[in-house]
Structure 1
Amino acid sequence: MQTLYDQKRMSPADAVGMISNGNTVVVPTGVGEPPALLQALSDRRHTLRDVAVSQILPLRKFAYLDPETHANIRHDAYFFGGATRAGGQSGWVDFVPAYFSELPMLIDRGLTPADVVMTMASPMDEYGYFSLSLAPDYTMAAVRKARVILLEVNPNVPYANGDCHVHISQVSGLVESDDELFEVGLPTIGPIQEAIGKHVAELIDDGATLQIGYGGIPDAVVMQLQHKRDLGIHTEMIGDGILSLIESGAVTNRRKTFMPGKMVATFALGSRKLYRFLHRNPMLEMHPVDFTNDPYIAARNDNLCCINATLQIDLLGQCGSESLGHTPYSGTGGQVDFVRAANRSKNGKAFIVLPSTAKNDTISRIAPVLCPGTHVTTSKNDINYVVTEYGVAQLRGKTARQRAEALIGIAHPNFREELREAARKMNLA
């Protein structure tokens, strides 16, 4: 195995030399992105034409993210992050509308191209396998499809269990680096986030299985759960908030009805401590997103509780979680996957959380209708619990008028009469 490894080891420049004009390069979610390879690709951007980089949630703004050279290398976002949001809003970064759970299927069927894969990887084990532990997500599907597989091998990448392994025989080229992995700290939690977290935590029972989305409010929920018992984890993202629940003893996975004793995730985003926790941990398995986020599979966990955030919700319960009007902000991600999973789960609960207002209490996030052009993420037919700092509205099974009344009841008091008047005009009151 070592001989084959040595034959495939090369410089980053030589590795990205395998990329041809017109190729689509698939890069994993978040910290799974390989910085040495992406920097080498950026350095080569003036000599390439019509190359696309497809990725969810890029963390670093590499030089290829350049409006002047987007005809050479463009970014096709599965989900906008801080590095690509401005480009998406200006129009020189495009995006692919898709449920996170379905990205592997789109790649497998050739509906979304995957000519080249570039990813971080753990060191090779004695059997010739690398672990793509930080984000097997849609990357494992791209490995099956791609002509070229490029690994950035780093000793700081953990070797995780699960369906996240690539054999040296599959690899086209590899480069070595030893830089520390990108770290993301916990978001700042203020009194509004804390209040929302308390409302949600009161509805989560001992023994529940959790999916926690990204952001300050989902993490505020986590902080309120450390006194719970025998929680389980089946999620897309594992972060330091979940790690804190494990350390507190709240998470044991003993009462899970699907894969009891095991935590399941598809990407990791957090601290060095978190990444060390992933390393050969028998409690944890990292799997592709068409396993973790498949609503049918996730719903095999009884008492599945899913917590995700939105930007705006209308009086019927439609959630705009990925755009501000027509202007893209993030992406569909896995929100709908897990809302539907919780709805299928025996005694499951799907929570959509949001502050009641934006822009220093000048705009109500609960609106009569979504802003024109808003991308609807979670539909009125899927919505269940909606939580603001003012309380909880349970909408599933309710009439349109009952929904409007419940949502107005958890809106900021300054906007409730205005919302009631709008509801009357819409025949919802």
Structure 2
Amino acid sequence: MASKLLSRALRFKTFGSKQSPSKRNFYLYTPEPFHPFPDRHPDWKSALEAVRAVKSGDKIFLHGAAATPVRLVEALAEHSINHNLKDIEIIHIHTEGPASFTKPEFEGVIRSNSLFIGSNVREAVNRGSADCTPIFLSEIPLLFRRNIINLDVALISVSYPDEHGYCSLGPSVDCTRAAVQNAKVIIGLVNHNMPRTFGDSMIHQSHIDVMVEDKYTPLPERPPKPLTDVETEIGRLIAENLVHDGATLQMGIGSIPDAVLSQLGNHWNLGVHTEMFSDGIIDLVEKGVITNSKKVIQTGKIVSSFAVGSRKLYDFMDNNPYVCMLDVSFTNSTAIICQNPKVTAINSCIMVDLTGVGGQVDFIRGAALGLDGLGKPIIAMPSTTKKGESKIVPVIAEGSGVTTTRAHVHYIVTEYGIAYLFGKTLRQRAYELIKIAHPSHRESLEKAAFDRLKCMPCP
């Protein structure tokens, strides 16, 4: 193993037009792009000039979420068409922007491989012209660190270098840290609007081969949406019954987690150790509700791997040592999560079957295994879809992806109440779930439960 690491440490890496062997430090499994290389500097080029490094058959990592380098994506699309390239694979989690490389005219030229499917690639996946790889977010870095996927190019967004030459990955460290450790060529879009964050987000400019300056493009924004009465009621139920003072919070994305945060103004000493966060935490920090003082891991700091929200959120994160952006293999490690006090994982899902199935395993499991025995794994959702169909169903629809198994789920919350499922039999689970279903669907769900279980649901 040592000889293998040494050989990789001595590999050639191109810095601009120069090529020379370089020893590099190691972070976990692969070279860590932190320490400076003296007298090595990136080449500054236009976006189109920068992506000329891409050739047919390349595997390209694309920085995601609010750090999506949209200008580089557009340049890559233009370059690949103009130069008749083919069989390029773009590997990414959720990205912002139109994802033009998934349009029909790019078939055979660029193929998307989503490690987390966003709305901008879903149509392409459904029509078979794009791929998706089912994987826990916490395990994506292993694809790069174990050389299961070897990247030719990484397209990333960074902040402008500081006086010491250090850039920041801003609001999106997640699996990007591991990707830049693996990639042969790193192309950085230097966005002057990128917030400068701390933790695992730092990368020295001498590790970046080409930089493209972008002074004006704002980061993609997802400002909070107005909450419905149903969402507000779900937030109230969770805040008043399941979130206790001193708890460590994990929030998924969307209106339900935002609704919970909006109801926590009278709590004390809450902490945040999460996969992602958005605007909802800012008011709680300013009110002194979120202090992180009770946390065991990174005491006193908000810990996350990525963030998506409004400009207000990015300004809050900028140069703020209170926020620690870390590699997702750390933030989403069950062994790390369970050490914090009263871990309360709040996530939403598309549907739940009568035996209790939802989503978001890493934190659901981490909360369930909390060392203090006070963790609360919560799945919350409105009782019905916008079309009035029940989200609590007899069985999950054929072909639907199931992330969290029935054994993971402890709490299911709708606007009609809280179902506690841990330690319950199948007929007890059905009983609890039917109680929190929309009243107009309870009779049909009870009949479906009898047909499936051959007995009546009961407490």
TM over 0.5: yes
Identity %: 39
Matched residue, 1:295: 334
Deviations 1:52-109 (A, max 9, x none): 1122222111432211212101111112222112222222121110000000012211
Distance (whole Å) between structure 1 residues aligned to residue 151 and residue 42 of structure 2? 24
**Which of 398, 411, 424 does residue 385 from structure 1 map onto?**
411
> Is 1:337 matched up with 2:362?
yes
Matched residue, 1:328: none
Q: Secondary structure at the match of 2:66?
A: helix
1:249-328 mapped onto 2 (5 Å cutoff): 249-319=288-358
Distance (whole Å) between structure 2 residues aligned to residue 130 and residue 337 of structure 1? 29
1:327-406 mapped onto 2 (5 Å cutoff): 335-345=360-370, 346=372, 347-361=374-388, 363-406=389-432
Distance (whole Å) between structure 2 residues aligned to residue 223 and residue 380 of structure 1? 29
Distance (whole Å) between structure 2 residues aligned to residue 2 and residue 147 of structure 1? 16
Higher Rg: 2
Matched residue, 1:183: 221
> Is 1:96 matched up with 2:121?
no
Q: Secondary structure at the match of 1:421?
A: helix
Distance (whole Å) between structure 2 residues aligned to residue 35 and residue 2 of structure 1? 28
1:74-85 mapped onto 2 (5 Å cutoff): 74-85=111-122
1:184-199 mapped onto 2 (5 Å cutoff): 184-199=222-237
**Which of 51, 58, 65 does residue 23 from structure 1 map onto?**
58
Matched residue, 1:417: 443
Q: Quote how far apart the aligned CAs of 1:398 are.
A: 1.2
- Aligned residues of 1:121 and 1:153 also touching (Cα < 8 A): yes
Q: Structure with the greater relative contact order (CA < 8 A, sep ≥ 6): 1 or 2?
A: 1
With normalisation by structure 2, the TM-score equals 0.87
Q: What RMSD in Å do the two structures reach over aligned CA positions? A: 1.7
Q: Quote how far apart the aligned CAs of 1:187 are.
A: 2.5
- Aligned residues of 1:59 and 1:82 also touching (Cα < 8 A): no
Q: Secondary structure at the match of 1:285?
A: strand
Distance (whole Å) between structure 1 residues aligned to residue 141 and residue 95 of structure 2? 18
Q: Quote how far apart the aligned CAs of 1:31 are.
A: 1.2
Q: Quote how far apart the aligned CAs of 1:373 are.
A: 1.6
The unaligned stretches of length 5 or more in structure 2 are 1-35
Q: Quote how far apart the aligned CAs of 1:29 are.
A: 2.4
Segments ≥4 residues shifted beyond 4 Å: 1-7
> Is 1:139 matched up with 2:176?
yes
Distance (whole Å) between structure 1 residues aligned to residue 433 and residue 141 of structure 2? 36
**Deviates further, 351-360 or 6-15:** 6-15
Matched residue, 1:45: 80
Question: Which amino acid in 1 is paired with 2:433?
Answer: L
Aligned residues: 414
Matched residue, 2:142: 105
Matched residue, 2:108: 71
- Aligned residues of 2:42 and 2:208 also touching (Cα < 8 A): no
Q: Secondary structure at the match of 2:364?
A: helix
Distance (whole Å) between structure 1 residues aligned to residue 43 and residue 37 of structure 2? 10
- Aligned residues of 2:42 and 2:209 also touching (Cα < 8 A): no
Deviations 1:233-278 (A, max 9, x none): 1111121011222123211111112221011011121122211221
Matched residue, 1:326: none
Matched residue, 1:126: 163
Q: Quote how far apart the aligned CAs of 1:45 are.
A: 2.2
Deviations 1:184-217 (A, max 9, x none): 1112310111111111111101111111110111
Describe the shift of the 1:187–1:114 C-alpha distance in structure 2 as closer, same or farther (beyond 3 A).
Answer: farther
Matched residue, 1:36: 71
Matched residue, 1:8: 43
- Aligned residues of 1:29 and 1:267 also touching (Cα < 8 A): no
Distance (whole Å) between structure 2 residues aligned to residue 359 and residue 305 of structure 1? 27
Question: Which amino acid in 2 is paired with 1:201?
Answer: A
Distance (whole Å) between structure 1 residues aligned to residue 234 and residue 317 of structure 2? 30
With normalisation by structure 1, the TM-score equals 0.93
- Aligned residues of 2:246 and 2:341 also touching (Cα < 8 A): no
- Aligned residues of 2:251 and 2:347 also touching (Cα < 8 A): yes
Distance (whole Å) between structure 2 residues aligned to residue 383 and residue 62 of structure 1? 34
The unaligned stretches of length 5 or more in structure 1 are 322-334
- Aligned residues of 1:45 and 1:64 also touching (Cα < 8 A): no
Matched residue, 2:191: 154
